Structure 1
Amino acid sequence: MRNPPGSGGERLLLVSTNFAPEQAGIGPYATQLAEHWAHERGAEVHVLAGLPHYPAWRTDPDYRGRWRLVDDHAGVLVHRRRHYVPARQSALRRAAYEGTILGHGLLAPPRIARPDAVVAQVPSLAGGLLAARLARRYGVPFLPVVQDLMGAAAAQSGISGGGRVASVASSVERRMLAGATLVGVIHESFRERVRALGVPAHRIRLTPNWSHVRPPSRPRAETRAALGWPEGRTVLLHSGNMGLKQGLDVLIDAARIAPELLVVLMGDGSVRGHLERLAAPLPNVRLLDPAPADEFPEILAAADALVVTQRASVLDMSVPSKLTSYFVAARPVIASVAGNGGTAQELRRSAAGRLVPPEDPGELVAAARALAADPAAADALGARGAAYAASHLSRAAGLGRLSALLDEALATEPAPVRAARRAAPPEGAPA
């Protein structure tokens, strides 16, 4: 460790709508990045975040009724601003969600001294715009890290008015990325999309995500017994967000076709109620709440196969955070996704599972039955996933790439200029 957190040197602002205690999506990556910069760089790290709400799309009970607060999270100061949280997705509700994030952030930005750089976790359009505006106000480098692109995602999401949202979102993304010093992308499949939004290739850097969970340590049989999963029963587990994009109806249909399978959906999201209604007549489907962080790896490892699904209409550019966790669990992966997207590319690269067409329950069942018929082959696939996570998706490597992105951006500014800039707060900046 270089210095104790906040002991001097750099001051950094990370803008991420999602942050701890959220355990799904980009929240864990934003959290671990902020902690890394505070503890390994000795930086004074501030985070501008929303109230915890994902993936349930309900404000965490501990934060309800709060408008503005500052949390001290492991030496990181988290400045939270209240915003609207839509229980169901539509164009109007999504616009209200983003609009209240942007409006409250502009009305009450963090009251901090001038940072050395502003970093944003995208796809939050409001978060990206806030970060870009704050970077311009302070006259410092702006570094968006593209986890997803809202324009492309909205067009394929299936939400009411998705086409209108996509058009507006793409326009906002173009404007937001135009002012970036450098742009990080978590997968090669984003490069062309970002270039199409007007970012020159020489300003794009690959900054892949990492496996943010620890390997399992408890015997599988022990966890299965605690969960009530019978030995000898093939368990398919999907963990994470339950949204329209995931197309999780395919797993309900698979359970209907193959009653010998036990299908488990663990998580929360906007379509959980719909899935509960579909699953009600099926004794071989179970829905679980999101697991606590200390139990999560054990539950993943207790399954016989881990499933990632997406609707056939989705252009899968990114790599879902669940996939990096799946690899660590050392169980085979069944990916019911488009064959030309980021998830399919990662599955081929890792050789850790089976790829089947999206929204095809028959093919999904066939893959599950094939794995069940050859446990040794299934274990070998899982071992390859764990080895791939260890060699390609380590936390140290992922955080190191983001630190290199920051260092490169800071190096574009001569040290004397940087020192003079820090000494003179900009006009109109928050105190």
Structure 2
Amino acid sequence: MNLFLYSLNYAPEKTGIGKYNGEMCEAISDIYGYSVTALVAPPYYPNWEVEHSYSSFLYKSENINEVKVIRSPLYVPSKVTTFKRLLHLSTFSVSSSIALLIKFIKNKPDVIFLVQPTLFCAPATLLFSKLFGVKTILHIQDFEVDAMFGLGMVSEGKITKIVRRTESWLMKKFDVVSSISYSMLENAERKGVDKSKLLFFPNWADTSFVTPDTDGSALRKEWGFAETDKVVLYAGNIGQKQGLEIVIEAAKSFEGDKNVKFVFVGAGAYVDILKRLAKVSNLDNVYFKPLQDWEDVPAMLSMADVHLVVQKKGAADAVLPSKLTNILSAGGHALVTAEESTELGKIEQANSGIYTRVEPENTKDFIAGLKAVFATDTSKPNMIARNYALKNLDINNIIERFVSDIDKLVKGKDND
């Protein structure tokens, strides 16, 4: 079987879609013997800066753990605006479509797996797949159109209607549309995708590596925190869609409690703004750390008392936070901002105690939610979260099911 991944992001990116793409491709190649090729951008996320050993302007081929990786050039803005973001996506779609055509001519795959974002690559994917007789899967990690409009990055109007109709038309042309949550699949169905084409393919956790048994005390000590401190951790991409200003506001309210420490671990377009907000407010209970290597992630998760999963209104079902899978696997005590009607709200209702949920962009509720988590015994793992991860998020089970679905697609059988 020959699988072709088409996506912006790939390893060695440490977080988000790139991390999942890398793990998926390597597992499918190593365990199931597939021939896997990945057409991706040079690693740039979440710093929005291309790593020094790669180029923004040149194609590059490499082999990473038996996966053939083709890097396609693109524009990477140092400061992300709506226009620059669109230019960023457009340049990748143009440059990568050339590499895609060459690959299809030389050795066509059985299946092409396009990851959204970016939908900009869908036209070339559909055109070449039709010409060469290749099965297509659109995998939705983020509904980028919904995120753009839902976060107010683009105002509603005639252009909005055109964009939404184009999105719907493109999605309906794929053989299969998969996504990481049931709410996102329902959204795809509302956009016109036939229910028979929908496939649940969630993000996962390595539940044998990220466990509640990891000792994070050494890292806690290294970072200067005492055993009696309450460490509130946000780890991952630091971008506009998170609405992380609310964490700074919460830190202000806890200034009188010297044992509460707020820690941001990660990088992104918004990190400098948060640092400036903390500095202007003279906060000495807010700390910033760089992204951690994967082997250090279990210890980082273990040392925290509270984990933050923060998003703005309207984002929860457009961009389901990938960081939550490892928090649950570690048995972490999480505070999640999401509307009750979203997937995150439904998970909380079905699994009482899995995390504490508050409405997004409500500072008063956010602070009350933090106090509620502090009132629990955070020194012990949250076994409701851990058991949920073992049952629903194990990487081996999810990949095995996905490979079975690919086989059915290629052989022309109906998906379950």
TM-score of the pair, normalised by structure 2: 0.90
Q: How does 1:26-45 map to 2 (within 5 A)?
A: 26-45=17-36
Which residue number corresponds to residue 242 of structure 1? 238
The amino acid that maps onto 2:218 is: E
- Cα deviation for residue 66 of structure 1 reads 5.0
- Cα deviation for residue 228 of structure 1 reads 1.2
Which residue number corresponds to residue 426 of structure 1? none
The Cα offsets for residues 38-72 of structure 1, whole Å up to 9 and x where unpaired, read as: 11221211110011111111112221355101110
2:147 corresponds to 1:153: yes
Which residue number corresponds to residue 402 of structure 1? 402
Counterpart of 1:26 in 2: which secondary structure? Answer: helix
**Is residue 56–residue 75 contact of structure 2 (8 Å, CA) maintained in 1?**
no
Which residue number corresponds to residue 419 of structure 1? none
Q: How does 1:409-428 map to 2 (within 5 A)?
A: 409-412=409-412
Distance 2:172 2:263 in 1: 43
Q: How does 1:106-185 map to 2 (within 5 A)?
A: 106-109=97-100, 110-111=102-103, 112-159=106-153, 167=161, 169-185=163-179
The Cα offsets for residues 81-121 of structure 1, whole Å up to 9 and x where unpaired, read as: 01011233333212211110111012333534111111111
**Is residue 184–residue 405 contact of structure 1 (8 Å, CA) maintained in 2?**
no
The amino acid that maps onto 1:82 is: P
- Cα deviation for residue 379 of structure 1 reads 5.2
- Cα deviation for residue 236 of structure 1 reads 0.7
Which residue number corresponds to residue 248 of structure 2? 252
Pick from 11, 23, 26 the counterpart of residue 20 of structure 1.
Answer: 11
Distance 1:164 1:207 in 2: 33
Q: How many residues align?
A: 402
Counterpart of 2:26 in 1: which secondary structure? Answer: helix
**Is residue 117–residue 410 contact of structure 1 (8 Å, CA) maintained in 2?**
yes
Q: How does 1:258-277 map to 2 (within 5 A)?
A: 258-259=254-255, 260=257, 261-277=260-276
Distance 2:140 2:72 in 1: 22
Distance 2:131 2:290 in 1: 42
Q: Which runs of 5+ in 1 are unaligned?
A: 1-9, 414-431
Aligned-CA RMSD value: 2.2
**Is residue 29–residue 36 contact of structure 2 (8 Å, CA) maintained in 1?**
yes
Which residue number corresponds to residue 341 of structure 2? 340
The amino acid that maps onto 2:306 is: A
Counterpart of 1:120 in 2: which secondary structure? Answer: strand
- Cα deviation for residue 405 of structure 1 reads 2.3
Distance 2:156 2:302 in 1: 36
**Is residue 148–residue 154 contact of structure 2 (8 Å, CA) maintained in 1?**
no
Q: Taking structure 1 as reference, are residues 284 and 397 closer, same or farther at Cα in structure 2, changes over 3 Å only?
A: same
Distance 2:375 2:97 in 1: 57
Identity of aligned residues (%): 25
The amino acid that maps onto 2:117 is: P
Q: Which runs of 5+ in 2 are unaligned?
A: none
The Cα offsets for residues 339-395 of structure 1, whole Å up to 9 and x where unpaired, read as: 2212222334443221112122332222322333331xx456622211111111000
Distance 2:116 2:301 in 1: 27
Which residue number corresponds to residue 421 of structure 1? none
Distance 1:47 1:179 in 2: 22
- Cα deviation for residue 129 of structure 1 reads 3.6
Distance 1:357 1:371 in 2: 15
Counterpart of 2:33 in 1: which secondary structure? Answer: coil
The Cα offsets for residues 185-212 of structure 1, whole Å up to 9 and x where unpaired, read as: 2111022321232211111121222114
Distance 2:140 2:342 in 1: 16
Pick from 190, 210, 218 the counterpart of residue 215 of structure 1.
Answer: 210
Distance 2:400 2:157 in 1: 37
Distance 2:295 2:145 in 1: 35
- Cα deviation for residue 148 of structure 1 reads 1.9
Distance 1:157 1:345 in 2: 22
